[in-house]
Amino acid sequence: MKFIAIIGLGFALLTGCSAFSPKHSGPSDKMQFPLAFPEDRDQVSEPLFCSLTDKEAVRLLKQGAYYCNLEGEHRQRVCHSLAQQYREKQVWQAGWLLAYSFSDKKSCITHKERLAILNDLNQRPAQNQNSLLTWLNESQEQTLEVIDTLKANQDVLEHKIEAQHHELEELRKENAVLKSQIQALKSIEKTLNKRIDDER
């Protein structure tokens, strides 16, 4: 039985992508890539699932989509389990799933931890993870860094607005004092004018 399994595995490895490539019966069956430049067409039109690593990437994406839709306590348990696997065993797939499937407010990791995970994944040697996911990781890391920059700018603006509100409040108080003083002066002026009129 083991012999048959080994032969089957060897045959699968020898056939490579042919088992997963679509069979073209004519020009109309070919996939169209309208956004690809002619010189890029060979690179982007390779059949999907050419290798075990490509299939692994698809499995990871499917797993990520499943985890993304989890809810309640089960979602939290899965999140904490993945976080433990990533921290203790450095399983990059666990980190990847944490960074992408648990990116909402109910996540067990923070925005800063998510950015650190992506940074760690991008620093690892290419052979340690699927190269098809590398560009996605880099893009996501850049997006999170832009979010950090925008948040920092927002904090600065909110601080300026708060300072201006405080300054405006102080000006309102000063204005109220000035109005009160003007009213007092007008009252004094009125009293003086009355006395002058009486003396005449």
What global pTM score does this model have?
Answer: 0.57
How far apart (Å, rounded) are the C-alpha atoms in residues 163 and 156? 11
Number of Cβ within 10 Å of residue 23's Cβ equals: 6
Residue type at position 110: T
Mean pLDDT of the chain: 76
Tokens of 182: 């003007």
Please choose, from the candidates 13, 20, 15, 14, the residue with its C-alpha nearest in 3D space to the C-alpha of residue 50. Answer: 20
Q: What is the pLDDT of residue 6?
A: 40
The predicted-structure confidence for 122-165, as pLDDT tens digits, reads as follows 888 765 666 778 888 888 888 888 988 998 899 999 999 999 99
Q: What is the pLDDT of residue 137?
A: 86
Number of Cβ within 10 Å of residue 120's Cβ equals: 15
The predicted-structure confidence for 89-113, as pLDDT tens digits, reads as follows 988 889 999 999 988 777 898 889 9
What mean pLDDT is predicted for residues 12-38?
45
How far apart (Å, rounded) are the C-alpha atoms in residues 180 and 173? 11
